[in-house]
Amino acid sequence: MQIEVLKSKIHRVRVTEANLDYVGSITIDKALMEAANIIAGEKVQIVDNHNGERFETYVIEGEAESGCICVNGAAARRVAVGDVVIIMSYGIMEFEEAKTFRPSVVFPDTETNRIVR
């Protein structure tokens, strides 16, 4: 049996831009993507801590160390600049593997969206 489990999580980052006139997706700072083990094109779930919205989209790589968290396209209506969001991706794996799997979780500074070291 296979199950879906949390693979990656960027916990609490601030939305820096909401661009309605874009094809769609979320642009994420490359440094955050790498730390969380998320790749361009990957499907992610976004949870907005300010308004409770939950939606899915795919990732576009943003400039490293820019702090960029830009929600694009129609999803831009689900957030406001300044909202704090959680970004998660999931993986499908065998049940026994899932018991020992540990997701990549990143806790950035919510003021700068940079990784606290």
Chain position carrying tokens 């490293």: 64
Active site residue 104: no
Please give the Cα distance from 26 to 62 (Å, whole number): 9
Active site residue 22: no
Segment holding 33, helix H or strand E: helix 30-36
58, 66, 90, 104: the active-site residue: 58
Angle at 32 between CA 30 and CA 33, to 5 degrees: 60
8, 22, 25, 104: the active-site residue: 25
Please give the Cα distance from 85 to 113 (Å, whole number): 11
Please name the amino acid found at residue 55.
F
Active-site residues, by number, are: 25, 58
